[in-house]
Amino acid sequence: MSLDARLLTALRGAGADAVSGVELSESLGVTRAAIWARIEELRRLGYEIEASPHRGYRLISAPDLLHADDLLARLGSTRVVGRDIRVFQETTSTNDVVEKFARDGVKEGVVVFAEAQTRGRGRLGRVWVSPARKGLWFSVLLRPPMRPQEATQITIAAGNALARAVKAQTRLPVEIKWPNDLLIRGRKAAGILTELHAELDQVKALILGIGVNVNQTARDFPAELRPLATSLRLEAGQLLDRAGLATAILRALDRDYRRVLDGEFDALVSEWEARCSTLGRRVAIQIGGRRVEGRAESLDSDGALLLRTQHGHLERIIGGDVTMAS
């Protein structure tokens, strides 16, 4: 961890108490002057840090920005997801950045956030509108030791983790629409774009791109999206702490990724199914140029949707665009 991450961990760990400069300099192994210089830099970024000659330093508030060291400090230790965090002010798409990391052989677990994306991508070739500092736009690099056919399990696990974390942080009525849209009161608040690099029998890299609409107002959405999309702020009626939400999501992703690798996918599916508004409903699914209709019954052991068609067949669906038929 960098000095700033360790410093923020110490300040956050002290809560409402102050930590003395001597204590910090001893525990972090740097001079008091070095601590002071870092505190000044954090203040310049908007961190409100009280400094008293007798008591020491106390963190009063943090600005609404994503700061890699602070995200690491808030996250604490995770097994894989978030071992390394990078924040860009602007990028084309965080999936592009992580794709490059994957090609360069970077270890799994790295998470790339961008405050804004100029070419955010959604599923099925759609645009993902990603205005500066309004949401969480990030991608996670994973290298699960599995066959490409099983990779849907990771997307299902990610949808489950995302829904659980958003619900815990906001108390909003969160639902999953298959495969992984997060809906609140019927409108989309978050989505996941999974991209895969694989050989025939082995996943090489799986990129989980996650977009969460956090603090947008209605005017931040293009007019054509307003009836379909929402933000957590619009639903909760208040601004949300993006960094706190980000770390809650990363912690949940780390946990559910581990559950998949530990062979606990079945238990995870039960949780996912309880959150899913698609199952048990009559749906129409557009798969490229083909449209199938039927009743969404359940997920199979690889995470594919089992659809009972009008003709009574059980069809296994791994991707597509769902609309509710009734």
Q: Where do contacts with ligand BTN occur on this chain (CB under 6 A)?
A: 93-95, 117, 120-123, 126, 128, 130, 137-139, 181, 191-193, 209-211
Nearer to ligand BTN, 80 or 114 (CB): 114
DSSP label at residue 231: -
Nearer to ligand BTN, 94 or 215 (CB): 94
Nearer to ligand BTN, 8 or 114 (CB): 114
Q: How far is the CB of 300 from ligand BTN (least distance, A)?
A: 22
DSSP conformation letters of 63-123: -SS--HHHHHHHH---SSTTSEEEEEEEES-HHHHHHHHHHTTPPTTEEEEEEEESS-B-G
Q: Beta strand 84-91 with 110-117: parallel, antiparallel or unpaired?
A: parallel
Nearer to ligand BTN, 131 or 148 (CB): 131
Nearer to ligand BTN, 128 or 272 (CB): 128
Q: Do the Cβ atoms of 71 and 136 come closer than 8 Å? A: no
DSSP conformation letters of 294-307: EEEEEE-TTSPEEE
Nearer to ligand BTN, 96 or 256 (CB): 96
Q: How far is the CB of 235 from ligand BTN (least distance, A)?
A: 17
Nearer to ligand BTN, 9 or 139 (CB): 139
Distance CA 284, CA 301 (A): 22
> Which residues are 247's β-sheet partners?
none
Greatest pairwise CA separation for the chain in angstroms = 78
Q: How far is the CB of 88 from ligand BTN (least distance, A)?
A: 11
Name the residue number minimizing CB distance to ligand BTN.
Answer: 191
Q: How far is the CB of 96 from ligand BTN (least distance, A)?
A: 7
Q: How far is the CB of 56 from ligand BTN (least distance, A)?
A: 39
In this structure, what are the phi and psi dihedrals at residue 84, rounded to the nearest 5 degrees? -140, 130
Range 8-15 contact pairs with CB under 8 angstroms and sequence separation of 24 or more: 8/42, 8/59, 8/69, 8/70, 8/73, 8/74, 9/72, 9/73, 9/76, 11/49, 11/57, 11/58, 11/59, 12/59, 12/73, 12/74, 14/58, 14/59
Nearer to ligand BTN, 32 or 126 (CB): 126
Q: How far is the CB of 265 from ligand BTN (least distance, A)?
A: 22
Q: How far is the CB of 18 from ligand BTN (least distance, A)?
A: 38
Q: How far is the CB of 284 from ligand BTN (least distance, A)?
A: 18
Nearer to ligand BTN, 19 or 112 (CB): 112
Distance CA 217, CA 208 (A): 26
Spell out the residues 6+ positions from residue 42 whose beta carbon is closer than 8 angstroms to its own: 4, 7, 8, 49
Write a three-state SS string for 122-154.
CHHHCECCCCCCCEEEEEEEECCCCCHHHCHHH
Q: How far is the CB of 181 from ligand BTN (least distance, A)?
A: 6
